[in-house]
Amino acid sequence: MYNVLNSNVVLSQNQNFGAALGQPLTILQGRIVRAALQYKF
């Protein structure tokens, strides 16, 4: 469930005029799944 709501939010866009105008340069990285166990004796 942790990674289900990830979205690729655009952090910066290409500002140069031409065919590449508005293309994303960097996006927010996805979260990493983490699992942990704890044992008590």
Q: List Cβ neighbours of 34 (8 Å cut-off, separation of 6 or more).
A: 2
What is the number of structural domains in the chain? 1
Host domain of residue 33: 1-41
* Contact between 31 and 8 (Cβ < 8 Å): no
pLDDT per residue as tens digits for the range 1-41: 556 666 778 889 988 888 889 888 888 777 666 788 888 98
C-alpha of 12 from chain center: 13
pLDDT of 36 reads: 83
Give the integer Cα–Cα distance in Å for 4 and 7.
Answer: 9
pLDDT of 8 reads: 74
Beta strands in 1-41 (DSSP E): 10-13, 24-27
Give the integer Cα–Cα distance in Å for 20 and 15.
Answer: 8
pLDDT of 29 reads: 76
